[in-house]
Chain A
């Protein structure tokens, strides 16, 4: 029996065969055999986080910035339950993650053993798929299947629950990656050509077309973004991106009309409302995009390209559904557009662009910033961050969740995909910092910045210890207004300015906090200090917190109030009375 291995060793071999280079994890009793096997090899690097939620977010940041599958290792019971928020986040944003969870030995399952939790039961609703491995002989095949499921079709998180005895038992079985398939799992990749033909013909007949592209294009790989740019340019059509899709089309290009949705640009939302043909590629008509459903783009023919059939006709009924991978479908669209020598009526398109330019001239993101001793406005801080980094190709941005996230999306332009990591679907405060750690691990030479709020950053602040341990020069830029800004804004809109629990008393001194972890702390409180502080942050080669103290009562505009259609936007400078009256009736109950 000399060629048998333990379940844990077999697991490591399978991970190595899958090309795993990094695991984000936290040890505990049930996974000690895996840690022992990790200790005795050199192929896989383990990054010790300080909380299991952060392990999953770090793996997400790693996956989103590198295009690889993110790998997580946590122990049974609380290790697994702490990972649940991260798994749900990855499910909502379609991020490929394989999460290994320890489990009590098989003979103790169901006995309420120490650190036992029904992990497959708990994670069934927040994973794409999960496994409980009951025999060491199955370890290799389950690992290979899990990576296949996580990374193909619509990507997502997969959990492998590994009882301790399975990890310690000997097995002589090792299945290679190439020998593992699952006959019931067959994601569709190529779109149906007859549907694609209908789509391009609809576009060619359009007078007011728009392309609305989302995170699905990022998940289809960098080549899909290149094809999207090619298709958009050859057709001359305006393009908008979702929050998840920022970077699939260069923000500096004149055909880009900005992000759409609740805090999207005036021109993008009005173009969506008034268009006659809409090509949705890799987005899912999320409620933050559609606003009031029955007034969503009422006069358009809608094409929807999505790899997940269950995304189609879920929120919005579409005319031409195409099930397939964004890259493959775009390739076919481009080929057909050329071979049929299609084009859009030049006069109509020029009129449409004229209309869009008039909306653009409203300058919905405009603001004024006083200089010198004046307080820094958050919009200005992020605009300066963009201006000071836009010449570089190595800047990766993550965010937490709230006003700062929306301002970052509005004022930082992205030229390429995989540069922008934000919790779009679940809206997880505490996402951005561990995600930035994962980004930095996957891209050691990149400039990784977490744009944070002072409330969100406290949700995973313990990860400073991780960043310092691995000497990661991650930058946190805290847009510090001492309020949970988006909560405060909604209380102003919906609850008569009764600011219940949205002000944070007793904030830490973030500079001293950074220093206590062995990191660097910087602060700016007035406009005259901003550029120097930003430069110091950008130049820093160690873990750095920049506490950017900003004006306290800014609202994030433009905004489509919940329950309102796209044409009913609140623009900057809206009076408080108008803001207070903006949401009524059914909108009050919406989120």
Chain B
């Protein structure tokens, strides 16, 4: 039985650290659904990686243990499992997408109306295109993009998921 989990990983910001994390997945045939990484603490030189992955319970335990085994890894938190065991709602997860839509006439008007519903912002426009900036849960973005397909969807770029746990506890 496969489940989807979101891991938060705090690592030293040094060359090769991302390759170590990715290599751990590719070398064992594990799947990465989404991965984001950026520096979060300049003084301590720490980066935070958010990984959304799926697998059986045994595989998910392995992923966690293998991540913890890497030398530059400080902490690994299975945010999904933690929320479950602390009786909390699933972790807060957000993603940002930039979506280019090309069209004219009614389709253009409809694209704008849908964008309004999704609180998407127009960050670039011309007479024949919009670039929307839309953020939210992964499923919301999936839906927005799906609706844009018949309206002239032309290009998509997504940031990948970032996540923090609910409640007052920090990583």
Residues of A whose CB lies within 8 Å of any CB of B are 120-121, 124-125, 128-130, 132, 149, 182-185, 308-310, 312-314, 317
What chain A residues lie within 8 Å of B66 (beta carbons)?
310
Q: Which one of B15, B62, B73, B74 contacts A310 once the chains associate, using CB atoms below 8 Å?
A: B62
Q: How far is the CA of A183 from the CA of B69 in the complex (A)?
A: 13
Mark each residue of chain B from 66 to 98: 1 if its CB lies under 8 Å from any CB of chain A, else 0.
101111111000000000000000000000000
Given A124-B16, A125-B27, A184-B12, check contact A149 B71 (CB 8 Å).
Answer: yes
What chain B residues lie within 8 Å of A317 (beta carbons)?
58
Q: How far is the CA of A298 from the CA of B58 in the complex (A)?
A: 18
Mark each residue of chain B from 53 to 69: 1 if its CB lies under 8 Å from any CB of chain A, else 0.
00000100110011011
Q: Which one of B19, B20, B62, B70 contacts A314 once the chains associate, using CB atoms below 8 Å?
A: B62
Q: How far is the CA of A313 from the CA of B19 in the complex (A)?
A: 25
10 contacts between A and B (CB under 8 A): A124-B20, A125-B27, A132-B16, A183-B74, A184-B71, A184-B74, A308-B69, A310-B66, A314-B58, A314-B62
What chain B residues lie within 8 Å of A310 (beta carbons)?
62, 65-66, 68-69
B23 at the interface (CB under 8 A from A): yes
Q: How far is the CA of A549 from the CA of B19 in the complex (A)?
A: 50
Q: How far is the CA of A15 from the CA of B104 in the complex (A)?
A: 71
Q: How far is the CA of A310 from the CA of B65 in the complex (A)?
A: 5
| B73 engages A309 (CB within 8 Å) | no
What chain B residues lie within 8 Å of A129 (beta carbons)?
70-71
Q: How far is the CA of A129 from the CA of B73 in the complex (A)?
A: 12
Q: How far is the CA of A124 from the CA of B17 in the complex (A)?
A: 10
| B68 engages A185 (CB within 8 Å) | no
Q: How far is the CA of A128 from the CA of B27 in the complex (A)?
A: 14
Chain B residue, CB-CB nearest to A146: B71
Chain B residue, CB-CB nearest to A184: B74
Chain A residue, CB-CB nearest to B66: A310
What chain B residues lie within 8 Å of A124 (beta carbons)?
16, 19-20, 23
| B58 engages A309 (CB within 8 Å) | no
Q: How far is the CA of A314 from the CA of B162 in the complex (A)?
A: 29
Min CB–CB distance B17 → chain A (angstroms): 10
Chain A residue, CB-CB nearest to B46: A184
Beyond A124-B19, A149-B71, A182-B71, list 10 extra A-B contacts (CB 8 Å). A125-B23, A129-B71, A130-B16, A132-B15, A184-B72, A308-B65, A309-B65, A309-B68, A310-B62, A310-B66
What chain A residues lie within 8 Å of B71 (beta carbons)?
128-129, 149, 182, 184-185
Determine the interface band of chain B, counting residues with CB < 8 A from chain A. 20 to 34
Chain B residue, CB-CB nearest to A153: B69
Q: How far is the CA of A314 from the CA of B61 in the complex (A)?
A: 8
Report the 5 A-B pairs with minimum CB-CB distance, sorted nearest first.
A310-B65, A129-B71, A309-B65, A184-B74, A310-B66
Q: How far is the CA of A149 from the CA of B73 in the complex (A)?
A: 13
What chain B residues lie within 8 Å of A183 (beta carbons)?
74
How many inter-chain residue pairs (CB < 8 Å) link A and B? 41
Q: How far is the CA of A184 from the CA of B72 in the complex (A)?
A: 6
B109-130 interface (Cβ within 8 A of A)? none
Chain B residue, CB-CB nearest to A311: B65
What chain B residues lie within 8 Å of A120 (beta carbons)?
16
What chain A residues lie within 8 Å of B72 (beta carbons)?
184
| A313 engages B73 (CB within 8 Å) | no
Q: How far is the CA of A149 from the CA of B12 in the complex (A)?
A: 16
Min CB–CB distance B23 → chain A (angstroms): 6
Min CB–CB distance B57 → chain A (angstroms): 9
Min CB–CB distance A255 → chain B (angstroms): 33
What chain B residues lie within 8 Å of A121 (beta carbons)?
19
Min CB–CB distance A428 → chain B (angstroms): 19
Q: Which one of B15, B62, B73 contacts A184 once the chains associate, using CB atoms below 8 Å?
A: B73
| B69 engages A309 (CB within 8 Å) | yes
Chain A residue, CB-CB nearest to B27: A125
Q: How far is the CA of A132 from the CA of B69 in the complex (A)?
A: 20
Min CB–CB distance A591 → chain B (angstroms): 17
Chain A residue, CB-CB nearest to B24: A125
Q: How far is the CA of A132 from the CA of B20 in the complex (A)?
A: 14
What chain B residues lie within 8 Å of A314 (beta carbons)?
58, 62
Q: How far is the CA of A271 from the CA of B152 in the complex (A)?
A: 69
Q: How far is the CA of A184 from the CA of B65 in the complex (A)?
A: 14
Min CB–CB distance A126 → chain B (angstroms): 10
What chain B residues lie within 8 Å of A308 (beta carbons)?
65, 69
Q: How far is the CA of A183 from the CA of B12 in the complex (A)?
A: 10
Q: How far is the CA of A41 from the CA of B39 in the complex (A)?
A: 44
Min CB–CB distance B114 → chain A (angstroms): 45
What chain B residues lie within 8 Å of A184 (beta carbons)?
11-12, 71-74
B1-59 interface (Cβ within 8 A of A)? 11-12, 15-16, 19-20, 23, 27, 58
What chain A residues lie within 8 Å of B20 (beta carbons)?
124
Min CB–CB distance B30 → chain A (angstroms): 13
What chain A residues lie within 8 Å of B15 (beta carbons)?
132
What chain B residues lie within 8 Å of A182 (beta carbons)?
71
Chain A residue, CB-CB nearest to B72: A184
What chain A residues lie within 8 Å of B69 (beta carbons)?
308-310
What chain B residues lie within 8 Å of A312 (beta carbons)?
65
Min CB–CB distance A528 → chain B (angstroms): 53
Q: How far is the CA of A185 from the CA of B23 in the complex (A)?
A: 19
Min CB–CB distance B138 → chain A (angstroms): 29
What chain A residues lie within 8 Å of B73 (beta carbons)?
184
Q: How far is the CA of A318 from the CA of B11 in the complex (A)?
A: 30
Chain B residue, CB-CB nearest to A148: B71
Min CB–CB distance A304 → chain B (angstroms): 13
What chain B residues lie within 8 Å of A309 (beta carbons)?
65, 68-69
What chain B residues lie within 8 Å of A149 (beta carbons)?
71
Q: How far is the CA of A184 from the CA of B68 in the complex (A)?
A: 9
What chain A residues lie within 8 Å of B12 (beta carbons)?
184
- Of the listed residues A120, A124, A130, A132, the one surrounded by the most CB atoms of chain B closer than 10 A to its CB is A124
What chain B residues lie within 8 Å of A132 (beta carbons)?
15-16
Q: How far is the CA of A349 from the CA of B142 in the complex (A)?
A: 63
What chain A residues lie within 8 Å of B11 (beta carbons)?
184
| B27 engages A313 (CB within 8 Å) | no
Chain B residue, CB-CB nearest to A323: B65
Chain A residue, CB-CB nearest to B74: A184
Q: How far is the CA of A555 from the CA of B58 in the complex (A)?
A: 37
Min CB–CB distance A216 → chain B (angstroms): 15
Q: How far is the CA of A183 from the CA of B72 in the complex (A)?
A: 9
Chain A residue, CB-CB nearest to B59: A314
Q: How far is the CA of A125 from the CA of B28 in the complex (A)?
A: 11
What chain A residues lie within 8 Å of B62 (beta carbons)?
310, 313-314
Min CB–CB distance B14 → chain A (angstroms): 10
Q: How far is the CA of A310 from the CA of B66 in the complex (A)?
A: 6
Q: How far is the CA of A390 from the CA of B11 in the complex (A)?
A: 51
What chain A residues lie within 8 Å of B19 (beta carbons)?
121, 124
Chain A residue, CB-CB nearest to B44: A183
Q: How far is the CA of A130 from the CA of B16 in the complex (A)?
A: 9
Q: How far is the CA of A129 from the CA of B71 in the complex (A)?
A: 7
What chain A residues lie within 8 Å of B74 (beta carbons)?
183-184
